[in-house]
Amino acid sequence: MFVKICGITNAQDALLSVALGADALGFVFASSPRQVTVDQVRSIHSQIPSSVMTFGVFLGERPEKIVEITHTLGLSGAQIHGNYLPEQIDHISERVMYTVRAIVAGRERLERVKSFSAWAILVDSPSPGSGQVFDWSLVEAVPERTKMIVAGGLTPENVKEAVSVLRPFGVDVSSGVELEPGKKDPMKLRKFIAQARSSDDIDSDDLDVRSRKDAVSDDEDVVPYNWEIGR
Ligand SMILES: O=C(O)c1ccccc1NCC(=O)[C@H](O)[C@H](O)COP(=O)(O)O
């Protein structure tokens, strides 16, 4: 189970997340109580092992700016929120590796993801970083063979159920592991990652849902790009 901890604002939280087993960290460059600057991320990033993926998080940002920041900092990729044209996505994907974020605004919009070849899509609630859980039944509209990362109101208490029901490639959390906006809670972090990982051996045959994990391609050469659905 791929686990991404989002809304990292300081080295202490970053290093603790890594020590507890996070696969990826997210830095929010959009306007937010968790907003960070390029200089802050440069300092944090220099302390993180290269085995950990790092994503800049952008909301409606110009593709050129996303590429600039991602490259300047040497981040693994970008998590993009907002409406982008496929050619804009292509522009970014030539330079960076990033996840795709899906704003759940309806089944028909989720189905649009079919026209993009994503590294992954991040299915989230309409209001990112808000801690709101979305209607999980919408996930049924996400195409097969899509690396799906689930976000939106996940907590140490509900992440196991989310994984059991949705069978995602990964999970993403921000406010659900915070003491206050911008500061992570070590106990919640520990429990969240443990709970997410404890779901790895669930037998999907026992569940009345298709196994997205099984549907994920092992082909890591797939050209990655980032896209958001909705808005
Ligand atoms: O965190 C924010 O305030 C934020 C602002 C603008 C764009 C994205 C933002 N956060 C993204 C995330 O933290 C997560 O990827 C995701 O939305 C999950 O958040 P949460 O529901 O708080 O776990």
ipTM for the complex? 0.97
**Stated pTM of the model:** 0.84
Q: How far is the CA of 153 from the centre of ligand 1 (A)?
A: 9
Which two tokens mark 10?
């300081």
Q: Supply the residue whose CA is at minimum distance from atom 1 of ligand 1.
A: 129
Whether pLDDT at 12 is above 60 = yes
Which two tokens mark 220?
């890591």
Q: How far is the CA of 27 from the centre of ligand 1 (A)?
A: 10
What pLDDT score was predicted for residue 124? 85
Supply the range of the domain harboring residue 93.
2-229
What pLDDT score was predicted for residue 108? 55
Q: How do residues 143-157 score in pLDDT, each as one tens digit?
A: 676 778 899 999 999
Residue type, 85: L
* 27, 78, 114 from 192: Cα distances, Å: 19, 23, 31
From 158, 175, 185, give the residue whose CB has the most ligand 1 atoms within 8 Å, as the site to mutate.
Answer: 175
Selection from 21, 31, 59 nearest residue 181 by Cα: 31
Domains held by the chain: number: 1
Q: How do residues 21-60 score in pLDDT, each as one tens digit?
A: 999 999 999 999 999 999 999 999 999 999 999 999 999 8
Q: How far is the CA of 161 from the centre of ligand 1 (A)?
A: 20
Q: Which of 79-83, 98-102, 163-167, 179-183 has the highest mean pLDDT?
A: 179-183
The atom of ligand 1 lying closest to the CA of 132 is 21
Neighbour count for residue 154 (Cβ, 10 Å): 26
Q: What is the CATH number of the domain that holds 179?
A: 3.20.20.70
CA 193 – CA 20 distance, rounded (Å): 7
Q: Which residues contact ligand 1 via a Cβ below 6 A? A: 6-7, 26, 28, 30, 32, 34, 57, 59, 81, 124, 128-131, 151-154, 172-176
What H or E segment, with its residue span, contains residue 92?
Answer: helix 86-93
What pLDDT score was predicted for residue 36? 98
Q: How far is the CA of 209 from the centre of ligand 1 (A)?
A: 27
* 36, 68, 195, 205 from 29: Cα distances, Å: 6, 12, 28, 41
Q: What is the mean pLDDT of the chain?
A: 79
From 28, 55, 79, 188, give the residue whose CB has the most ligand 1 atoms within 8 Å, as the site to mutate.
Answer: 28
CA 190 – CA 118 distance, rounded (Å): 30
Active site members: 6, 124
- Are 111 and 132 a contacting pair, CB within 8 Å? no
What pLDDT score was predicted for residue 114? 61
